[in-house]
Amino acid sequence: MTEHQTVYTHGHRDSVLRSHRSRTAANSAAYLLAEVRPGAAVLDVGCGPGTITADLAELVGPAGRVVAMDTSEQVLEQAAAYVAGRGIDNVEFVVADVHALPGPSGEFDVVHAHQVLQHVGDPVAALREMRRVCAPGGLVAARDADYAAMTWYPELPELESWLSLYRQAARANGGEPDAGRRLLAWARAAGFTEVRASSSSWTYATAGERLWWGESWADRVVGSGMATTALEHGLADEPELARIADGWRRWSMDPDGWFGVLHGEILARG
Binding site for ligand SAM (CB under 6 A): 8, 10, 20, 23, 28, 45-48, 52, 70-72, 75, 97-99, 114-116, 119-120
CA nearest to 268, candidates 112, 38, 55, 108? 112
| Cβ proximity to ligand SAM, 23 vs 210, nearer residue | 23
CA dihedral (72, 64, 129, 176) positive or negative: negative
| Cβ proximity to ligand SAM, 27 vs 105, nearer residue | 27
Report the nearest approach of ligand SAM to the CB of residue 255 (Å).
Answer: 29
Please report the DSSP string for the chain in residue order.
--TT----SS-S-HHHHHHHTT--HHHH-TTTGGG--TT-EEEEET-TTSHHHHHHHHHH-TTSEEEEEES-HHHHHHHHHHHHHTT---EEEEE--GGG--S-TT-EEEEEEES-GGGSS-HHHHHHHHHHTEEEEEEEEEEEEBGGG-EEES--HHHHHHHHHHHHHHHHTT--SB-GGGHHHHHHHTT-SEEEEEEEEEEE-SHHHHHHHHHHHHHHHHHSHHHHHHHHTTS--HHHHHHHHHHHHHHHH-TT-EEEEEEEEEEEE-
| Cβ proximity to ligand SAM, 116 vs 241, nearer residue | 116
The residue at minimum Cβ distance from ligand SAM is: 48
Report the nearest approach of ligand SAM to the CB of residue 119 (Å).
Answer: 5
CA nearest to 212, candidates 11, 9, 81, 21? 21
| Cβ proximity to ligand SAM, 15 vs 71, nearer residue | 71
| Cβ proximity to ligand SAM, 75 vs 221, nearer residue | 75
Report the nearest approach of ligand SAM to the CB of residue 243 (Å).
Answer: 25
| Cβ proximity to ligand SAM, 1 vs 155, nearer residue | 1
Report the nearest approach of ligand SAM to the CB of residue 239 (Å).
Answer: 28
| Cβ proximity to ligand SAM, 116 vs 187, nearer residue | 116
